[in-house]
Amino acid sequence: MKDNLLLSDVSTAEGQMTSVNLERIPVLPLDVGKMPWRPLTEEQKENTCCILDDVCVLNIPKPKNRAEEEELVNKFLSGMRKSFTKENNWAFLPILETSTDYCAQCNSCADACHLYEMSGEHDMYRPNFRSEIFRRIYKQYVKKEPLAKWRYGDMGLNWKTVARLGELAYRCNLCRRCAQTCPIGVDNGLIAREIRKIFSQEMDIHPRELHEKGTMNQLKVGSSTGMTPEVVKENVEFIDEDYAEITGIGIHTPFDVQGADIMLLHNAGEIMAWPENIAAFSLIFQEAGLSWTLSSKALAYDGVNYGIFYDDTQAARIALQHMLAAKELGVKKIVIGECGHAHKGLTVIADRLIPFEYQVPRESCYVTLHDVIMSGRLKLDPSRNDFPVTLHDPCNVVRLMGIVQPQREILRRIAPKFREMPCNGVNNYCCGGGSGFAIMTRNNIEEWRGNISGRKKMWQIGEAFKECLGPETKKYICAPCSNCKGQIREILEHNDLYAKNSFAYGGLVELIVNAMSNVKPGFIKWEDEEE
Amino acid sequence: MTTLFYLLAYLAIAGFFCLVFLKVRSYLRASPLHVRWELYPVPHEGAKTSYGGSFMEEKEWWTKPRHVHHLGDIKALITEVLFLRATFEHNIKLWFRSYPFHFGMYMLMGGTIIVLLAAFAQLCGASPDGGLMIFIGNVISAVVLVGSLCIIGGGLSLIHRRMTDEGLNKYTTPEMYFNIGVFVVFGLFGLFAWTGASSYFEMARGFLYNLMTFNFIPQPGTWFALHLLVGFFLLIWIPLTQMAHLFMKYFTYHDIRWGDEPTTYNERNKSIIPDALKYAVTWSAKHVTGGAGSKTWLEVATSNPAAPKND
């Protein structure tokens, strides 16, 4: 295995190319352990292209003969060619071209990347590593520029290069913090996503959590959770009943109200994993007297759009269905619940993909909630939130949409001990679960999230609470995004940080309900209070 | 030989503008409309820019008039171009080498514009020996000296850093060393020309005056001629390389990173989207076109690959 990596190693190294040495990854003030890499099985080594590092996301079947090796390479090249055509990639082509042509190789992006830093500055995690391989292949084998090897650097192209490049596209959270620091305006995050697109749209290779269990499931039954419209309505009804008892206030979550002002679009994962989030939204909207509804139409009760992470065609299909459902209900706006990628996907990306006549205005729930809180429509008692609170900024909402202050102004109003993390707002770090990783657990992916991708966030959390670490003080990590919560939950659980540090985590709405005077106290529960 | 020299000059200038035009046209023609791919902070958001906020923080923003603070964009672009702000903030070690290099180039580019104006003034009848010309000559003398030294010093230290920094070294191609090297040679020849002549300004103004009047007379010094020849090469070479970021940066910043205009406010974009959806998609994965070979984006977006098949 290579320790000191060269770009050309992706085409020459035999077997597993590299490994992140866990002794080199930073030790944190929080007690976040290092999870040993589980060795690949003999079967994996034999049958799959798990040849990059200790992690394997794509499970590409290993070519069995020369013809299959060539097929893999040719399919990739075919996809790369299509990426650079207006017809197949009009939505991203100018951005892809500038990121391919103008990088000055200054490596300013590396220091901005949480993966590079938390892997102990492993070369593979320089944001430019995969991009440069991509560029060299493009210049040498697709564009076939004269003197390409001299001008752009030589890159061997074989099945190993392709398989490793595909995996490399999944060693990035697509948080685009690197792009924010680029002096030229090159976007290495975009290139990672474009590689994912080539693999999915041309080669039919994708992580099963994003494709088969994700977008395809959503298009088939209505939600990536597998919930059908009937099941969703039943579950929400149960949530209403349960939380009416818990809060002491009757809750009714409306479905399919024609002509309501707002269609609220949740991440359906909340219904299954964090029902308190669904209940909190319903309670706030109800008590604030908003005219609102959920949709029970397939796809429209789940704001998830994993296509945003890997496939434009799936992204467009899902976004269109979200818009059409809102059109059918005749609502004035779609309010997007606590889900970062749903925010960006439907508000920003869909803005120039869906014909304007099919669009319904979209608003972030942070903005809607800000209006509710600041207009005094809820009776609030901030002393109920008299514990330290810090805020995680979901990349998709903050760095990529510029929604920074509404959630902070709410917290300043309802949480007297609110404090910022270091590197907050648009300079935030990804939770570590971004771009689909939060829902992946196999082939050392959870180890990767604990050891590398989620580590910087844990550093930020530790710093935010540094004067009150330990089990004595209850603390709340406000992470108003479903995927981010999933990632944070996993690290807290795995490291027993609920008990060691009295952490609770959740969204923004739970904190609001916890402060509502007419709600029974104690909506937010810490581990020792769980029933 | 002298005529050829001047022909090369015309060719280099015309070539530079043609290549810039082609590059920009290629960018603009790459797509009728790309998705919004903005990154905050966006400098035209007025007071919100200070913390990276956007219009999307406003309740029902689509009901309000759009305010774009162009001055913010201009300020941000100027600070970036003149001071390499992003490199200063995120890669200070490189900035100490890259900034002198770029500063030297700006000095020589600015100097060229001043000399061009002086030659034009001479063409319009200004005395080449007048007081103003003497003053400009002194300014140019200082500009060329400082500019050349900055390019040489900055260029050599950039080459040194790229050779010795492990991270940079792996990513630096022979062409990149060549590009910086050519600039260093350009600066060296300029410095030699400056040292060997009584007035660099007079040589430069004379050359541009002759160029404008088609008066093909030989250059007064070998170093100056070589300096110009390398300059001609750079004019053609820059747009053909990643150094074209010199002008493409306008688009990567203004159109992509800061391109946050929602369709609500742009009638042209509203009409482009339906047309773009008519492009034929030929991606091969079965969930894209379902084996049909080619479908329009509209057909793809309105189809459901997971729907039960009606056989």
The Cα A24–Cα A22 span in angstroms is: 5
In this prediction, residue A112 carries a pLDDT of 97
Percent of chain A with pLDDT over 90: 96
A179-192 confidence digits (pLDDT tens): 999 999 999 999 99
Residues B25 and B172 in one domain: yes
Query: Which of B257, B285, B301 is the C-terminal boundary of a domain?
Result: B257
pLDDT tens-digit readout, A424-467: 999 999 999 999 999 998 999 999 999 999 999 999 999 999 99
Mean pLDDT, residues A284-295 taken together = 98
Same domain (yes/no): B218, B306: no
Same domain, B151 and B103: yes
Contacts of B248 in chain A (CB under 8 A): 98, 101-102
A120 reaches B (C-beta below 8 A): no
Please state the domain count of chain B: 2
Going by their DSSP bridges, the two strands A389-391 and A475-478 should be labelled as parallel
Share of chain A above pLDDT 70, in %: 99
Q: Which residues contact A54 (CB under 8 A, 6 or more apart)?
A: A16, A19, A20, A37, A38, A40, A444, A447, A448
Residues 453-492 of A with CB under 8 A from B: none
> With 90 as the cut, is the pLDDT of residue A384 above it?
yes
In this structure, is residue B62 part of a structural domain?
no
- The DSSP letter of residue A39 is P
Q: Does residue A124 contact residue A18 with C-beta atoms inside 8 Å?
A: yes
Q: What is the pLDDT of residue B294?
A: 83
Averaged pLDDT, B136-151: 96
Contacts of A531 (CB under 8 A, 6+ apart): none
Domain annotation covers residue B19 = yes
Domain assignment of residue B27, given as a range = 2-31+67-257
**From A101, A211, A361, residue closest to B62, measured CB to CB:** A361
Same domain, B249 and B284: no
B219 touches chain A (CB under 8 A): no
Q: Which of B41, B61, B288 sits opposite A313 (nearest CB)?
A: B288
| Contact residues, chain B, for A427 at CB < 8 Å | 52
Asked if the structure places residue B87 within a domain, the reply is yes
Note whether A226 and A217 are within 8 A (CB).
Answer: yes
- A-chain CB neighbours of B273 within 8 Å are 352-356
Task: Note which residues in 225-244 of chain B have CB less than 8 A from chain A.
Answer: 241-242, 244
Whether B36 maps to a domain, the answer reads no
- Cβ(B37)–Cβ(A180) below 8 Å: no
One domain, residues B114 and B247: yes
CB–CB contact B171 A7 (8 Å): yes
* Residue B23 covered by a domain: yes
Is B271 within a domain? no
pLDDT of residue B311: 46
Same-domain check for residues B107 and B24: yes
What is the pLDDT averaged over residues A120-124?
A: 95
What is the pTM (predicted TM-score) of this model? 0.96
Is any Cβ of chain B less than 8 angstroms from the Cβ of A75?
yes
Task: Give whole-number Cα distances, B96 to B82, B231, B241, in Å.
Answer: 14, 25, 23
pLDDT tens digit string along A6-34?
Answer: 999 999 999 999 999 999 999 998 989 99
Q: Of A150, A217, A352, which is closest to B35 when you measure between CB atoms?
A: A352
The answer to whether residues B190 and B296 belong to one domain is no
| B286 and B148 share one domain | no
Q: DSSP E strands: which ranges in chain B?
A: 280-281, 295-296
Kindly report, residue by residue over A154-185, the tens digit of the pLDDT.
Answer: 999 999 999 999 999 999 999 999 999 999 99
Of A75, A183, A426, Cβ closest to residue B87: A183
Domain membership flag for residue B262: no
Q: Say whether both B249 and B282 belong to one domain.
A: no
Cα gap A422→A420, rounded to integer Å: 6
**B232 and B283 belong to one structural domain:** no
Contact of A328 with B242, CB cutoff 8 Å:
no
Interface test with A, best of B45, B85, B97, B273 (most A CBs within 10 A): B273
Q: Within a 10 A sphere around the Cβ of B92, how many other Cβ atoms?
A: 11
Q: Is the domain of B155 the same as that of B287? A: no
B56 to chain A, any CB pair closer than 8 A? The answer is yes
- Contact with chain A for residue B130, Cβ under 8 A: no
- Side chain identity at residue A385, one-letter code: N
d(CA B263, CA B36) in angstroms, rounded, equals 10
Report the alpha-carbon distance of residue B215 to residue B206 in Å, rounded.
10
Asked if B293 and B212 sit in the same domain, the reply is: no
Of A98, A180, A201, the CB nearest to B39: A180
Residue of A nearest to B158 (CA): A106
The domain that holds B104 is classified in CATH as 1.20.950.20
Please indicate whether, in this complex, the C-beta atoms of B30 and A93 are within 8 angstroms of each other.
yes
Mark yes or no for CB contact B35/A351 under 8 Å: yes
Residue A531 has pLDDT above 70, yes or no: no
In a domain, B85, yes or no: yes
- Asked whether the beta carbons of residue B86 and residue A203 sit closer than 8 angstroms, the reply is no
C-beta atoms of B57 and A425 within 8 A: no
Q: Strand B280-281 vs strand B295-296: parallel, antiparallel, or unpaired?
A: antiparallel
